[in-house]
Structure 1
């Protein structure tokens, strides 16, 4: 697999974890699997990589990937030391249902900390005749990069929901898909990323755009096809040309590591994310949900002992996962 590697540069100072760590078994560098440019993972990860590089003394580089489905396998195999995943693909991979490694349970993956929710989103140009999801039947629809949360679940929806015959799926990164919509190469851009999503924000600034809200039927169908989904509201004015709330569904995101990550490093990375909320918010606005109380949202990936120790020391109950 070929990826574009971007080494996170040093950023402004943040508070170091209070306790000194034994760094004797720490690596000199680590790689964070993120997602496509224009997606939330990339911006969130670039900023967090800079924090790790400066504050922990470990050179953290971020790699553009296809997203969670790929990230969980890259961490499982040890090719990446850190990655971002949504809980749906992570749970499926743990049960041996990853499309990249079918039949191979991903048993080495461990959770570190909660990130934010990923809502499913959809937009068309204002000149389009698409006014609902049902209108996408027979249309060209961009679903984001192959292997990502967006492509995985939107494709599953279109293939299994009734009334969507003839949807022509297109795969590309978030920014590229937005460009394809602008250029008329596709009819709709459906995606999954934290708020605000850069690709949609730029699209709405540069073009007249209509964002599509899920009706009750679409919500019910999506939750039936993907039981891990929960209802979610995208607040009005998250983007230009979006004066009203949008109803949709979402999945939680967590940072993950290989079980062989040194315990003190896992502790320090978790502490860095959980103890520096304002700095995390400067990495990406979606980090407003990067809060320790959201540790309870993960009931599918076992926690790394180092991460679990941080939460327990700070009074948060860590869910038990079989």
Structure 2
């Protein structure tokens, strides 16, 4: 993942646990995020990665524009990492307070290859909102551009509070834009892998009320041909050390459900399935594929 997002924090924490548990050396590569990781695995240039369920579903079905219509079958799920939420913010001076006001505006969506870069335009379209354009870029640089008035808003998907947004929120410079329950349901109906979630009060400094939005689970993924024993070991390392992962990314400290992942058409690796079942997870055999 890219600096300013949670993947860049979670992945090294997981890697350290894997090295400690297995003795295997882990090399890290900075990427844009979900689709970038899946493409690296598909091309045989990486063996482990992270993705949101929503983007992984696009990859499996070949429906995301980033797939060029190709159905990706080179990756498998290992374990649910943590849940992410769409966080849409505008500068307090911009006067943007609701989604409809993004019509005809320029919206920052984070780095190329990230979940937000690959899905935000679809989310807004599902709600009948057509921005003039969405632009990708570094999280922190896009926040600065928004504060300067160069972007109407930033719409990032990540574990809340996303580091780049939290830093700006400390200065009370952000307005958080939410969704109604009906809007969240509309997005979830049209886009596989998304569900309604709530950014609870105090998620960001100065936030005094709950704000509705949509979320997606994040999943650790691996190459389909990863040996069963290795897939089991890297999964087990995460499951038995979830509290330590939660120190790195608080959302990762809570056990996540498997159902949103396989319901989106994403199969689990057989080695990971053994580790998950040993840890008490219920995983249907039809959701496991070698």
1:315 aligns with 2:286: no
Equivalent of 2:32 in 66, 72, 77: 66
SS at match of 1:206: coil
Cα pair 1:140 1:170 within 8 Å, conserved:
yes
Equivalent of 2:138 in 159, 165, 173: 173
1:112 aligns with 2:78: yes
- Which runs of 5 or more structure 1 residues have no equivalent in the other structure? 1-34
Range with bigger deviation, 186-195 or 48-57: 48-57
Q: What residue in structure 2 maps to residue 79 of structure 1?
A: 45
Deviation digits for residues 141-189 of structure 1 (CA, Å, limit 9, x no counterpart): 1111223211222112334543x34533221122221121123221211
SS at match of 2:65: coil
Cα pair 1:70 1:100 within 8 Å, conserved:
no
1:185 aligns with 2:155: no
Q: What residue in structure 2 maps to residue 19 of structure 1?
A: none
Cα pair 2:172 2:205 within 8 Å, conserved:
no
Rounded to whole Å, the distance in 2 between the matches of 1:166 and 1:259 is 38
Q: How many residues align?
A: 285
Cα pair 1:213 1:247 within 8 Å, conserved:
yes
1:297 aligns with 2:260: yes
Q: What residue in structure 2 maps to residue 259 of structure 1?
A: 224
- Which runs of 5 or more structure 2 residues have no equivalent in the other structure? none
Q: 1:98 Cα shift?
A: 4.2
Cα pair 1:46 1:283 within 8 Å, conserved:
no
SS at match of 1:123: strand
Q: 1:66 Cα shift?
A: 2.0
Cα pair 2:181 2:196 within 8 Å, conserved:
no
Rounded to whole Å, the distance in 1 between the matches of 2:29 and 2:81 is 18
SS at match of 1:47: helix
Rounded to whole Å, the distance in 2 between the matches of 1:152 and 1:100 is 7
Rounded to whole Å, the distance in 2 between the matches of 1:98 and 1:221 is 19
Rounded to whole Å, the distance in 2 between the matches of 1:137 and 1:97 is 25
1:282 aligns with 2:247: yes
Q: Name segments (4+ residues, structure 1) moved above 6 Å.
A: none
Deviation digits for residues 259-301 of structure 1 (CA, Å, limit 9, x no counterpart): 2112211111111100012211122112123x2x623332122
Cα pair 1:81 1:257 within 8 Å, conserved:
yes
Rounded to whole Å, the distance in 2 between the matches of 1:269 and 1:84 is 13
Matching of residues 202-281 of structure 1 within 5 Å: 202-216=167-181, 218-281=183-246
Deviation digits for residues 69-97 of structure 1 (CA, Å, limit 9, x no counterpart): 22112112221111111112212212233
Computing the radius of gyration from Cα coordinates, the structure with the larger value is 1
Rounded to whole Å, the distance in 2 between the matches of 1:263 and 1:82 is 13
1:198 aligns with 2:142: no
Q: What residue in structure 2 maps to residue 15 of structure 1?
A: none
Rounded to whole Å, the distance in 2 between the matches of 1:95 and 1:213 is 29
Rounded to whole Å, the distance in 2 between the matches of 1:316 and 1:208 is 42
TM-score by length of 1: 0.82
Change (3 A) 1:123 1:78: same
Q: What residue in structure 1 maps to residue 14 of structure 2?
A: 48
